[in-house]
Structure 1
Amino acid sequence: MPVMTGKTAFMEMLRAEGVEYIFGNPGTSELPIMDSLAQYPEIRYVLAAQEGVAMGMADGYSCGTGRPSLVNLHIETGLANGISLLHHAMDGGVPLVLTAGNKDTRKLAEGRTDLPEMVAQFTKWSAEVTNPDQVAGAIRRAFNEAKTAPTGPVFLSFAFDALDASADVEIIPSPRQYHRVAPDPQSIEHAAMILAGAANPMMLVGDRLGASGGVSQAVELAERLGARVYATSYARMNFPTAHPQFMGRINPVLPAAREVFASADVILAVGTNVFSGFMYFPGGALSPGTRLIHLDSSAKEIGKSEPTDVGIVGNPKLALEHLS
């Protein structure tokens, strides 16, 4: 294996992952990365005046391309400024790789902030790289975690000496595979039977539907069922807003939403959390006469908050194609 510095391994891994842009607002802890940029003209550093702007640009880039974006912020101060947009990326399932430099590991006596702990609850995975031979493997896992369904942001902290020191490093990118999990045929058959017998069906659509590229499949199924359609979130275009069956945005945890849900005998929730919110209201969101089918790429969300008649784990676009 070739010997290289951690900062070279960092840039080589970005090139291997096909990164074209780094969105960021750097400081002294990121100097090793800044020092390496001149040797990689194909990777552009897009400088933002504030960390939230860098996070927002990266979020938009990932949503527009479907590819993981790379953000570089400065130690705990810059990272703290980006957390609100990191929370948004986690909610929206945005495949974003957030990085920050940290103090030299030999500065332990002077105090080093645990950067991964700062953002752990807003990421799929967070870790700190303290040795140069960890750089390539950590970046490979970060990109793989970010783009594996359910997609979402990850975070890596890089100690200054890990980027400045040298080690034997092998540059191997994350697997070139994009996961489209097919749904279980029995769950599709069960859901189809319930929907076929529905008198007043309703669809709830969320961001994981839009992320899967399954909007046209959702429109086709809604038209076939004659279902009213509500959006529970709209970080992405989850259903055409001008469509006559689109009823608009709904907050599913408010009491008023319960009246809407009570008018349906079957609800098909696609790519959305069922149902999360800030406030508590006694009783369930659904009336006893309403059946719930939850189709989602995030298995942990199915049945988490509401009794569910049929749970379908799979890529929303692929699952809707099977249902139609």
Structure 2
Amino acid sequence: MTQTTYTGRDAFMELLVQEGVTHMFGNPGTTELALMEVVPNYPQVQYVLGLQESIVLAMADGYGRASGRLSAVNLHCTPGLGHAMGALYTAKFSGSPIIVTAGQYEAGYGLTEPLLYEPLVRIAEPLVKWAVEVERAEDLPRIVHRAAKIAMTPQRVLSSSVCLAVFWTSLQRWFWGIPPAYKAPCNPTPRPCKH
């Protein structure tokens, strides 16, 4: 198996491409700057900028309703997720397939209870099929592939089509590309979901 070294941000974008994501909607903040630096390197994913998080999630919901295709939404930490909750509620009932990510401060900084930090997974859980915080770099491929499968599961099977993956508590250095870099297999093949 060929091994390729990725930074977290490149690995995340590559995983979205592998899952067929062609549109990412977002309103980036400081916790998303690393991701924004590499988005231009992935022309197969069109980044759609919105000026407020509820609009961003509503655009992804509309895209999902119209196309039936998986999209990604990138929100800015707790205020971003908070602003998007109304649109997330709507997307829950429309069944739009969306992977929602939200930036988060690294774990050590979170212990100081900074202004923009809250437990994002607990906030989102009532409105999404699955919510998880990425705590180890090696879990990123498994989490993104699982989130895509869950998001694409028909609404009649689960209560909504939205998944939330919270980045970057212990991944800040890796996400920015500061060693050690994660060695991910090229083109990992996801296994089919069994019901």
TMscore range, shorter length: 0.7 to 0.9
Distance 2:71 2:127 in 1: 16
- Residue in 2 aligned with 1:208? none
Structure 1 residue 176 displacement after superposition: 7.3
Structure 1 residue 158 displacement after superposition: 0.5
Deviation string for 1:46-65 (max 9, x for gaps)? 00011111111100111111
1:137 equivalent to 2:146? Answer no
Secondary structure of the corresponding residue to residue 83 of structure 1: helix
- Residue in 1 aligned with 2:165? 156
Q: Is the 1:71–1:97 contact (alpha carbons within 8 Å) kept by the matching residues of 2? A: yes
Q: Is the 1:105–1:130 contact (alpha carbons within 8 Å) kept by the matching residues of 2? A: no
Q: Is the 1:16–1:173 contact (alpha carbons within 8 Å) kept by the matching residues of 2? A: no
Structure 1 residue 154 displacement after superposition: 0.7
Distance 1:141 1:38 in 2: 25
1:93 equivalent to 2:95? Answer yes
Secondary structure of the corresponding residue to residue 110 of structure 1: coil
- Residue in 2 aligned with 1:167? 182
Structure 1 residue 174 displacement after superposition: 4.4
Q: Is the 2:27–2:52 contact (alpha carbons within 8 Å) kept by the matching residues of 1? A: yes
Distance 1:69 1:43 in 2: 9
Structure 1 residue 120 displacement after superposition: 0.3
Structure 1 residue 137 displacement after superposition: 1.2
Closer/same/farther in 2, CA of residues 46 and 124 from structure 1, 3 Å limit: same
Q: 1:103-122 maps to which residues of 2 (within 5 A)?
A: 103-111=105-113, 112-122=117-127
Deviation string for 1:141-170 (max 9, x for gaps)? 100000112351110111151523521223
**What's the % identity of the aligned pairs?**
32
Q: Is the 1:24–1:48 contact (alpha carbons within 8 Å) kept by the matching residues of 2? A: yes
Closer/same/farther in 2, CA of residues 173 and 120 from structure 1, 3 Å limit: farther
Distance 2:9 2:145 in 1: 15
Distance 1:39 1:152 in 2: 28
Q: Over alpha carbons, which structure has the higher Rg? A: 1
Select which of 122, 147, 150 maps to 2:152. Answer: 147
Report the AA paired with residue 144 of structure 1: K
Distance 1:54 1:2 in 2: 32
- Residue in 1 aligned with 2:62? 60
The CA RMSD over aligned residues, in Å, is: 2.0
TM-score by length of 2: 0.84
> Gaps spanning 5+ residues in structure 1: where?
182-324
- Residue in 2 aligned with 1:81? 83
Distance 1:30 1:145 in 2: 24
> Gaps spanning 5+ residues in structure 2: where?
none
Distance 1:175 1:65 in 2: 24
Structure 1 residue 38 displacement after superposition: 2.1
Q: Is the 2:99–2:148 contact (alpha carbons within 8 Å) kept by the matching residues of 1? A: yes
Aligned length: 179
Q: 1:99-248 maps to which residues of 2 (within 5 A)?
A: 99-111=101-113, 112-150=117-155, 152-159=161-168, 161=172, 162-164=174-176, 166-170=181-185, 171-172=187-188, 174=190
Q: Is the 1:73–1:99 contact (alpha carbons within 8 Å) kept by the matching residues of 2? A: yes
Structure 1 residue 172 displacement after superposition: 2.5
Q: Is the 1:23–1:70 contact (alpha carbons within 8 Å) kept by the matching residues of 2? A: yes
Secondary structure of the corresponding residue to residue 11 of structure 2: helix
Report the AA paired with residue 149 of structure 1: P
Deviation string for 1:180-227 (max 9, x for gaps)? x9xxxxxxxxxxxxxxxxxxxxxxxxxxxxxxxxxxxxxxxxxxxxxx
Distance 2:152 2:42 in 1: 24
Distance 2:29 2:66 in 1: 28
- Which of structure 1's runs of 4+ aligned residues deviate more than 6 A? none
